[in-house]
Structure 1
Amino acid sequence: MKKKPFRKLFFGLLILLLVAAGYLFWPEPPPPEPIIGKLQMKLPAETPPDTFRVGDYRILWPCREDGGTFLRIIHRNEPDHTVWASIPGESFINAARGRETVSGSRGHYTIRDKREQVYDRQSVGTPQQRDSLLLIPGRLYGEGDSLNYALRFSPTPEGHLRFEIQVPSHSANRVYFSGASRQAERFFGFGEQFSYFDLKGRRVPVFISEQGIGRGVQPLTWGADLTAGAGGDWYTSYACVPHYLTSDRRSLVLENYEYAVFDLRREERVQIEVFSSWASGRMIYASTPLGAIESYTRFAGRMRPLPDWLLRGAVIGLQGGTERVREIRKQLEEHQVPVAAFWLQDWVGQRTTSFGKQLWWNWELDRERYPGWPELRRELDSAGIKILTYINPFLVPVEAKDNHRRNLFQEAQARGFLVRNGQGEPYLIRNTDFSAGLLDLTQPDARAWIRAIIREELIGNGASGWMADFGEALPPDARLASREDAFRVHNRYAEDWASVNREAIDSQPDSLAGQLVFFSRSGYTRSPRYSTLFWLGDQLVSWDGQDGIKTAVTGLLSSGISGFSFNHSDIGGYTAITHPLKDYHRSQELFQRWAELAAFNVVFRTHEGNQPEANHQFYDDPATLAHFARCA
């Protein structure tokens, strides 16, 4: 009997060595290099540039520098400041025909691309202007082939310069837009970026996903990849955005939802790749960095002010039922902790899985877990404390849950409200050791149905808010009711999920709607238009800068650049791991330092984590409670 632990350890080490060998000897293929081509122009050296007025912007063509021709864009308020410019003598528009391979599951994706035809040389035709619209036609050349392109500029009501690039879809399905940069120019934004605040020198993919478990912390990432392909990488993010602001006060945002890559690896250039034959975006001028963010959010949308009650104290994340809430509330009162709300994510019932404590994704109150719910509501309300709950766009079969009253998965399946697979059946997406169906939010009736559930089951049961979890897991090969390509809709799903929640809030009387709040994990460009609050997702309960407490700081800063003005993290992190080789459990020290960080977040909220019993909690001892009271 005594040999069994050693046997487990031996096999664990063997598996670890095999995984490590795989990483060392079968590494991921490197990503494609940026496309660098020539600008094929024959112009006399003395040819002066023409100036085309497009709103408040001025487009200068052809400019000359160091014997090369380039395009330059300025703003009338600051003509010496370059809003955008191409690299002299090099093509600034390219195209390719490629074939992507998308692999992964559970919200984790790997995208590889094979370029079959590249159009790397560019010629520019005669610009054509009509009023404030400018068309620059031209031709792209590749090996044995060529195609036409069109570059259009137009002003926007927000004061931006809109650009569109179009190539024939039968010839190319990748568009590239290349601009000049300086070695010292720093690039910020791109939504929630957890590993680096400055992205210069890196290749930044924009495709929302689970952030991963470990994200480079070893051996944890190896193990998560081996068991579920869930390790993640430095760039994986729930809420990446195709937007940047640079230290040179230059800003750009794509309007596309398609998969895109911002290649900042070369010090002299930034190349944007869009998986489409059509790309559009905006260049943004402002006299200050803050002005650039303000201007950007006129397009992306701005978050509304939070209700006052949310800012009056801690939001206590708790599970366990009615009496558990009363027990912890008493401790909080004894230590004079200001409490804004109790967030009871297990209001739907709790299930134990291989990952820890998770929930029954069937959006109705579990009256056995929370008996006397109306009385609990009244008790908390009399003390000025709100109740928050939980929802996500998944549904699970609940035949194994004895006390369910509705089977929402069954209802949605019968009405055709779930995303489908290639065989026309509900696309069941694996999550730890169970599978779930995903709502098809391209279907208006499905949106109306889940809105009604939010109104009846969440708001109707007295919730003043909720976590609107997930939104990153639309499978790229799914079949949608709208007949749209799911790979192209994938990033938009985060906005669709946020908008459904916002519509449910806005359907309430004004006096109530302004007091309701939901917090989102997933996001894309326009998510701040809909979401009332964000949180940074599932950090590891660790100190590191790959998946731990340090990533919360970086994520808050980078997302703020992209308009996520109200954001916060789980105090202490979320993901705990219990493993013979190495445990990741929340310590008292980590919890307290994270609480000090969270004191400067817009919302101060706890989470027990996926393994509450393994993590240090604020209620574990008087010293932590006293410290928690000071931070709250």
Structure 2
Amino acid sequence: MKFTDGYWLLREGVKASFAAQVDDARVEDDRLTLYAPVRRVESRGHTLNSPLLTVECFSPAEGVIGVRATHLAGEADRGPHFPVHADPGHRAKTRTEGSVVELSAGSLSLRVDTAAPWRLDFTAGERTLTSVGRRGTGFATTPEGEHHSLAQLSLGVGELVYGLGERFTPFTKNGQSVDIWQADGGTASEQAYKNVPFYLTNRGYGVFVNHPGKVSYEIGSEAVGQVQFSVEGQSLEYLVIHGPTPKEILDRYTALTGRPALPPAWSFGLWLSTSFTTDYDEETVAGFVRGMAARDIPLSVFHFDCFWMREYQWCDFTWDPDVFPDPEGMLRRLREDHGLRVSLWINPYIGQKSPLFAEARHHGYLVRKANGDVWQWDMWQAGMALVDFTNPDARAWYAAKLRALVDQGVDCFKTDFGERVPTDVVWHDGSDPERMHNYYTRLYNETVFEVLTQARGVGQATLFARSATAGGQQYPVHWGGDCESTFGAMAESLRGGLSLGLSGFGFWSHDIGGFEGTPTPAVFKRWVQFGLLSSHSRLHGSGSYRVPWNYDEEAVAVTRDFTRLKHRLMPYLFRAAQQAGESGSPVMRAMLLEFPDDPACHTLDRQYMLGEDLLVAPVFTEDGTVEYYVPEGTWTHLLTGEQVRGPGWRRERFGFDSLPLLARPGSVLPFGADEERPEYAWARDVTLRVHALADGAEVITRVPAPEGGTAATFRTRRTGSEITVTAENAPGPWHVVLAGPEGYAEPVTAPQGATELTLSLP
């Protein structure tokens, strides 16, 4: 939200006050409290008839410093609040040197000169990361009487801003106005399904605004050298998080707001959907499944979209008996005959025609207006009402409906919607409607995720969720929402996914082929490549089926070959998934995450790293031309064995059987032996591909076990012209392939029972 008219003036009717100096500083062992008048105090008379801001400075964890600025402290606090997991063993330190007071939290410090004009400096060593200056702490009132608390943090020359959720606008957020406000706006506007009040920069720090409601950002768009953020209310809290690397920033941020859960291995395979408004019944589903099998396309999950239920009755959690007369039998056949898992579409709404509407209304499970009426409208479903997840009984009621479906044989749910949440309502727990608008999705997805984690004693679970906010990364997987079926929409989807990954989310997917409309064969085939080189892969559309034979025979081959490739990559991909849960690094990583010291990588949004060692550059053109950047070193085309030297840009053309898929110099990639499924003993018969290992280098490759068993570990080291691989806990035969100037060499198999193998470089 903009408050100024240019640099000098305020907008008409706006009044603003900013901290001008420190009048008093209370220094405790682990925190500071600064009392800041909004004018220079030169006499006792200046202390009258003028606001005094209370600015609390604290540290919940090492490398993190929080600032909470309050104007009037008597404002009622009705919640909700983001849970922030402070480190109970951490204690910040304070010190005073003359007029300077300092709060230190490990590598990050906050310095304030109490004798100077208002200024907060966040430093790492002797380097200032960012500063809060003369307009950096304050409040503004609008002509409508709204009171907004605001802050400004400085931007350095060349500093770039990323994150703020799944945003489809330009990848670097400089120059943009961004509102953190859930909206069902597709993938082609400034609105977003997943809004996260957290950004990081390429200068070694991130900032989390601890406010679940609307946060309005001006990122170099009002004051060009500042990131401004504001909230309506009397208080504003933000946390500055030091890295210095982007990975370390995400590690600390997700330690505070929650780590991504680890999805089950089967969820990484190919998902096929009925699509949305298409006609389908059990025979349609069976035909799709048989068609995939007949074409040797491995399939892991079948998804039933909205019309598994009767029209006008979403959600009643009951199969439409006219098209699915025997759901239990159908689910059993899909599992036993085809080895498939099943996903069902749901949302948090109850249509008036649904029998559950009267039941939920009677028990008080629906969100109400101030006069006691149930809140309803006719958008989406006629007479639709909203489940009140702030009511524990309503959560239990909703969860029970889902457990009945799980008992039938359903494995996961697509948790659609959760964005259009009204603010003219009263919540069961008294939550503030404005703060609940964004937060609602967290309660919704948490409820469903808990059902799945508790089902059948299985700890791992997966959703296919559209909406999210801070902390929502704990309930994966998330997908990119409703995009067009074009190359442009494919590129904007990738931008959104990379932004979400830089907002703490470890897993992300998208509708292969696009949602709205029908893709051309070229768009479909290129999107299949991209989709099967994403963390999760789903064929889905709106009014047309997404089975590959509806396009051409080459589409069938591309789908088959890239699904099989993904299955062989499962030892590598699942280790990347584990890293997401351990440290918050997403499976699909913006180039900035892996190459923070290469300025050329700071703005790249048409390529990414899949895990830490695979560069992927999707093709977004009809003729197969792609421009992509290769960082320093000798990289290897995974599909051809060709070596590519960086740094530098390349412009190449690829057929539909290929795309830029490069292995990082010095990487050792484990390839599994099974092409037909994502779940298998990944370490058994594994092949290690060794890429341009430097002399004296040693690489440790951990190959996980899908059911949480003991991981196999391979230690690869180069000494001169020899490569030695040592195995630990390898359950059976294993193989090594060396990359060289002429491509990949022939694989060498370790003798039965051997724990070490030495090869000569080609």
Confirm whether residue 631 of structure 1 aligns to residue 631 of structure 2. Answer: no
Matches within 5 A, 1:17-56: 31-33=2-4
- The one-letter code sitting in structure 2 at the alignment partner of 1:628 is T
- Structure 2 residue corresponding to 1:254, chosen from 200, 204, 209: 209
Compared with structure 1, are the counterparts of its residues 34 and 209 closer, same or farther at alpha carbon in structure 2 (3 Å cutoff)? farther
- The one-letter code sitting in structure 2 at the alignment partner of 1:415 is H
Q: Which residue does the alignment assign to 2:156?
A: 182
Compared with structure 1, are the counterparts of its residues 138 and 32 closer, same or farther at alpha carbon in structure 2 (3 Å cutoff)? closer
Q: Distance in 1 between matches of 2:521 and 2:289?
A: 20
Deviation (angstroms), 1:468: 0.7
1:41-71 C-alpha deviation (Å, 9 max, x unpaired): xxxxxxxxxxxxxxxxxxxxxxxxxxxxxxx
- Structure 2 residue corresponding to 1:240, chosen from 192, 195, 200: 195
Q: Which residue does the alignment assign to 2:234?
A: 277
- Structure 1 residue corresponding to 2:300, chosen from 340, 346, 358: 340
Report if aligned partners of 2:161, 2:173 keep a CA contact under 8 Å in 1. Answer: yes
Gapped runs of 5+ residues in structure 1?
Answer: 1-29, 39-95, 97-112, 216-233, 352-357, 400-406, 577-584
Matches within 5 A, 1:1-150: 31-33=2-4, 116-120=14-18, 122-140=20-38, 146-150=50-54
Compared with structure 1, are the counterparts of its residues 566 and 115 closer, same or farther at alpha carbon in structure 2 (3 Å cutoff)? farther
- Structure 2 residue corresponding to 1:295, chosen from 252, 258, 264: 252
Confirm whether residue 154 of structure 1 aligns to residue 58 of structure 2. Answer: yes
Report if aligned partners of 1:347, 1:369 keep a CA contact under 8 Å in 2. Answer: no
Q: Which residue does the alignment assign to 1:582?
A: none
Q: Which residue does the alignment assign to 1:376?
A: 330
Q: Which residue does the alignment assign to 1:448?
A: 396
Compared with structure 1, are the counterparts of its residues 415 and 428 closer, same or farther at alpha carbon in structure 2 (3 Å cutoff)? same
Q: Which residue does the alignment assign to 1:61?
A: none
Q: Which residue does the alignment assign to 2:505?
A: 564
Q: How many residues are aligned here?
A: 480
- Structure 2 residue corresponding to 1:205, chosen from 154, 176, 179: 179
Deviation (angstroms), 1:238: 0.6
SS at match of 1:122: coil
SS at match of 2:496: helix
Q: Which residue does the alignment assign to 1:420?
A: 368
Compared with structure 1, are the counterparts of its residues 518 and 114 closer, same or farther at alpha carbon in structure 2 (3 Å cutoff)? farther
Confirm whether residue 539 of structure 1 aligns to residue 437 of structure 2. Answer: no
Deviation (angstroms), 1:35: 9.5
Deviation (angstroms), 1:568: 0.5
Report if aligned partners of 1:36, 1:120 keep a CA contact under 8 Å in 2. Answer: no
Report if aligned partners of 2:269, 2:536 keep a CA contact under 8 Å in 1. Answer: no
Q: Distance in 1 between matches of 2:398 and 2:368?
A: 17
1:70-97 C-alpha deviation (Å, 9 max, x unpaired): xxxxxxxxxxxxxxxxxxxxxxxxxx9x
- The one-letter code sitting in structure 2 at the alignment partner of 1:440 is D
SS at match of 1:507: helix
Deviation (angstroms), 1:552: 0.9
Deviation (angstroms), 1:349: 2.5
Compared with structure 1, are the counterparts of its residues 321 and 149 closer, same or farther at alpha carbon in structure 2 (3 Å cutoff)? same
Q: Distance in 2 between matches of 1:494 and 1:273?
A: 22
Deviation (angstroms), 1:290: 0.8
Compared with structure 1, are the counterparts of its residues 134 and 462 closer, same or farther at alpha carbon in structure 2 (3 Å cutoff)? same
Compared with structure 1, are the counterparts of its residues 374 and 134 closer, same or farther at alpha carbon in structure 2 (3 Å cutoff)? same
- Structure 1 residue corresponding to 2:225, chosen from 255, 264, 268: 268
Confirm whether residue 505 of structure 1 aligns to residue 452 of structure 2. Answer: yes
1:537-569 C-alpha deviation (Å, 9 max, x unpaired): 11122333xxx2111110110000111110110
Report if aligned partners of 1:37, 1:122 keep a CA contact under 8 Å in 2. Answer: no
- The one-letter code sitting in structure 2 at the alignment partner of 1:285 is H
Report if aligned partners of 1:347, 1:389 keep a CA contact under 8 Å in 2. Answer: no
- The one-letter code sitting in structure 2 at the alignment partner of 1:242 is P
Q: Which residue does the alignment assign to 1:408?
A: 356
Compared with structure 1, are the counterparts of its residues 285 and 37 closer, same or farther at alpha carbon in structure 2 (3 Å cutoff)? farther
Q: Distance in 2 between matches of 1:122 and 1:540?
A: 50
SS at match of 2:483: coil
Report if aligned partners of 1:619, 1:625 keep a CA contact under 8 Å in 2. Answer: yes
Q: Distance in 2 between matches of 1:35 and 1:147?
A: 25
Deviation (angstroms), 1:372: 2.6
Report if aligned partners of 1:119, 1:146 keep a CA contact under 8 Å in 2. Answer: no
SS at match of 1:430: coil
Q: Distance in 1 between matches of 2:171 and 2:69?
A: 29
1:324-350 C-alpha deviation (Å, 9 max, x unpaired): 111111111111111011001246335
Q: Distance in 2 between matches of 1:34 and 1:299?
A: 37
Deviation (angstroms), 1:628: 2.0
Q: Which residue does the alignment assign to 1:195?
A: 169
1:359-400 C-alpha deviation (Å, 9 max, x unpaired): 83322222332123222222221232111111110010226x
Q: Which residue does the alignment assign to 1:75?
A: none
Gapped runs of 5+ residues in structure 2?
Answer: 41-47, 76-138, 142-146, 564-762
Report if aligned partners of 1:552, 1:569 keep a CA contact under 8 Å in 2. Answer: yes
Confirm whether residue 327 of structure 1 aligns to residue 287 of structure 2. Answer: yes
Q: Which residue does the alignment assign to 1:608?
A: 541
Q: Distance in 1 between matches of 2:163 and 2:330?
A: 43
Compared with structure 1, are the counterparts of its residues 158 and 359 closer, same or farther at alpha carbon in structure 2 (3 Å cutoff)? farther
Confirm whether residue 470 of structure 1 aligns to residue 417 of structure 2. Answer: yes
Compared with structure 1, are the counterparts of its residues 571 and 166 closer, same or farther at alpha carbon in structure 2 (3 Å cutoff)? same
Q: Distance in 2 between matches of 1:462 and 1:432?
A: 28
- The one-letter code sitting in structure 1 at the alignment partner of 2:479 is W
Q: Which residue does the alignment assign to 1:9?
A: none
Confirm whether residue 365 of structure 1 aligns to residue 319 of structure 2. Answer: yes
Deviation (angstroms), 1:121: 5.7
- The one-letter code sitting in structure 1 at the alignment partner of 2:485 is V
Report if aligned partners of 2:539, 2:546 keep a CA contact under 8 Å in 1. Answer: no
Compared with structure 1, are the counterparts of its residues 158 and 307 closer, same or farther at alpha carbon in structure 2 (3 Å cutoff)? farther
Compared with structure 1, are the counterparts of its residues 298 and 194 closer, same or farther at alpha carbon in structure 2 (3 Å cutoff)? same
- Structure 2 residue corresponding to 1:596, chosen from 529, 539, 542: 529
Report if aligned partners of 2:159, 2:202 keep a CA contact under 8 Å in 1. Answer: yes
Q: Distance in 2 between matches of 1:332 and 1:446?
A: 40
Deviation (angstroms), 1:621: 4.7
Report if aligned partners of 1:189, 1:245 keep a CA contact under 8 Å in 2. Answer: yes
- The one-letter code sitting in structure 1 at the alignment partner of 2:224 is E
- Structure 1 residue corresponding to 2:472, chosen from 514, 527, 548: 527
SS at match of 1:244: strand
- The one-letter code sitting in structure 1 at the alignment partner of 2:296 is Q
Q: Which residue does the alignment assign to 1:8?
A: none
Q: Which residue does the alignment assign to 1:620?
A: 550
Report if aligned partners of 1:447, 1:500 keep a CA contact under 8 Å in 2. Answer: yes
Q: Which residue does the alignment assign to 1:574?
A: 515
TM-score normalised per structure 1: 0.71
1:109-156 C-alpha deviation (Å, 9 max, x unpaired): xxxx996532146232232111111111111259x9631111111121
Compared with structure 1, are the counterparts of its residues 587 and 141 closer, same or farther at alpha carbon in structure 2 (3 Å cutoff)? farther
- Structure 2 residue corresponding to 1:551, chosen from 475, 478, 492: 492
Q: Determine which structure has more spread, i.e. the larger CA radius of gyration.
A: 2
Report if aligned partners of 1:176, 1:273 keep a CA contact under 8 Å in 2. Answer: yes
Compared with structure 1, are the counterparts of its residues 441 and 592 closer, same or farther at alpha carbon in structure 2 (3 Å cutoff)? same
SS at match of 2:548: coil
Compared with structure 1, are the counterparts of its residues 141 and 484 closer, same or farther at alpha carbon in structure 2 (3 Å cutoff)? farther
Q: Distance in 1 between matches of 2:316 and 2:381?
A: 17
SS at match of 2:158: coil
1:489-510 C-alpha deviation (Å, 9 max, x unpaired): 1111111111111222233353
SS at match of 1:463: coil
